[in-house]
Amino acid sequence: MNSQELFDRSLKAAPGGVHSPVRGFGSVGGTPVFFNRADGARLFDVSGKDYIDFCQSFGPLILGHRDPDVAAVVRETVETAWTLGACEPWSLELAEFVINAVPWVEKIRFVNSGTEAVMSALRVARAATGRQKILKFDGCYHGHLDSLLVKAGSGLAGESASDSAGIGSDLVNNTLVLPLDDEAAVDELFAREGDQIALLAIEALPANYGLLMQRPEYLQHIVNTARKYGALVLFDEVITGFRVGLQGIAGDLGIAPDLVTYGKILGGGFPVGAYAGRRDLMDQVAPAGPVYQAGTLSANPFGMRAGLATLQKCKTRNVYAVLDERTSSFSSTVADLLNQKSDHQWEALQYASLFWLRSKTDAPVRRVDQIPAGHKERYARFFHALLAAGIYLAPSGYEVGFLSFAHDQAVIDQALDRIASAVASL
């Protein structure tokens, strides 16, 4: 069967035909592609067509699909244990690796998703501070938990509104939302409500609404302000953790958060999440403390062993430096190809192995309201031209792209040939 036939069937079986909204192609239009095989930098659809993949499952596959070294560990795990629901050595080995690599991680708890990790970290922060309110920033995404799936409201600064049906007003009222890149707004909010705020949560490198790179001095200011008022600081590194380096974006910034959340790469392509941080905060968690959190499949052998194999290879093979160079060269070349054809100028924003293509602007884009008008529509045309040429990007202009270690020079050269052909057809 082809993708259209499978999607028609899927519409009858799942909400919108998918199991995560962006997969439905709502942002770009058209019918989602159904894939049934992956290898290295490539995806293969149900009709046998190959695509060079720059989505990489939205980030977890820093080594590419089915990396041979990780695959060997997975095959061994199949013959060893699938899930135990008991103590085992593999989560200890991964925990010790993370603790040794990241100075501000003194203890860590593994869960099953980034959303679960953030939910648990919020519970710890409220217990530790005795406060209820959480501060987040417009343009940052922290999963689909109720208390952070909110957006800025239309009233006074800091008020929030639900970004989804089914979220109670009591949860929304305890979540404060501010724009990014605005020190004065943070100062004003903390002066008014600082003694009620348990936690400031932020993607220090926002990568869920485009790549909104923040000024280091702004990030340091909001961290200092939060601590001045006794609020804890959470860096959500579900995307950036172990993707931009072993110490994540916090390591690049030289800012030590109180709590940090991880996911994606930490599981080597298997479902995983984690929250971590200072020992006194993590010791609030049961059975050491009164904050309850549990999970039947937490620290499953596949995620723990695949994750450790992935991180070890990243460390020993100089993966981060290699990917930084490849991503910079690739993304800038793609922008140049677009600019040879387009009636407006594109630019590539790149940080480590993340990249985002958008219309060129005179000033940096650090906030959602600064994204150029028409970006969604321009990206949709670009996306479908590349899709037809065998290039798979995330099916949304607000998702970033990723390179993996499997994107070697031969793959990149072939990708650029396909992109040049696609751009010529626009």
Q: Which helix (H) or strand (E) holds 357?
A: strand 354-359
The encoded tokens of residue 409 equal 């020079």
Q: Which helix (H) or strand (E) holds 392?
A: strand 391-392
- Catalytic residue selected from 236, 258, 351, 379: 236
Is residue 141 part of the annotated active site? The answer reads yes
Q: Which of 155, 161, 109, 168 is nearest to 136 (CA)?
A: 161
The encoded tokens of residue 51 equal 């695509």
Q: Which helix (H) or strand (E) holds 202?
A: strand 197-202
| pLDDT of 171 strictly over 70 | no
In sequence order, the 6+-apart residues with CB closer than 8 A to the CB of 350 are: 211, 327, 328, 331, 332, 356
> Using alpha carbons only, what angle is made at residue 157 by residues 154 and 161, rounded to the nearest 5 degrees?
45
Q: For tokens 């792209």, what's the residue?
A: 401
The percent of residues above 70 in pLDDT, for the chain, comes to 95
In sequence order, the 6+-apart residues with CB closer than 8 A to the CB of 274 are: 98, 108, 109, 110, 111, 117, 261, 262, 263, 266
Cis peptide before 287 (omega within 30 of 0): yes
The more confident residue out of 222 and 144 is: 222
Q: Which of 197, 190, 175 is nearest to 119 (CA)?
A: 175
**Does this model's pTM top 0.75?**
yes
- Catalytic residue selected from 136, 264, 320, 379: 264
Q: Would you place residue 350 in the very low, low, confident or very high pLDDT band (cuts 50, 70, 90)?
A: very high
Dihedral, 97, 99, 104, 107 alpha carbons, nearest 10: 140
**Interatomic CA distance for residues 320 and 318, integer angstroms:** 6
Please give the pLDDT value at position 154.
Answer: 33
In sequence order, the 6+-apart residues with CB closer than 8 A to the CB of 17 are: 7, 10, 11, 24, 32
CA 94 distance to own-chain centroid: 20
Positions of E strands within 123-203: 133-138, 150-152, 160-162, 175-179, 197-202
| pLDDT of 157 strictly over 50 | no
Q: Would you place residue 147 in the very low, low, confident or very high pLDDT band (cuts 50, 70, 90)?
A: confident
Residue 77, φ and ψ in degrees, nearest 5: -65, -35
Q: What is the pLDDT of residues 60-96, one digit of tens each?
A: 999 999 999 999 999 999 999 999 999 999 999 999 9
Q: Would you place residue 169 in the very low, low, confident or very high pLDDT band (cuts 50, 70, 90)?
A: low
Q: For tokens 């942002």, what's the residue?
A: 27
Q: What is the pLDDT of residues 253-303, one digit of tens each?
A: 999 999 999 999 999 999 999 999 999 999 999 999 999 999 999 999 999
Dihedral, 357, 359, 362, 368 alpha carbons, nearest 10: -80
Please give the pLDDT value at position 156.
Answer: 34
> What's the mean pLDDT when you consider all of the chain?
94
Please give the pLDDT value at position 155.
Answer: 35
The percent of residues above 90 in pLDDT, for the chain, comes to 89
- Catalytic residue selected from 51, 141, 262, 392: 141
**Interatomic CA distance for residues 205 and 371, integer angstroms:** 16
Q: Which domains does the chain have, with CATH numbers?
A: 3-54+318-425 (3.90.1150.10), 68-316 (3.40.640.10)
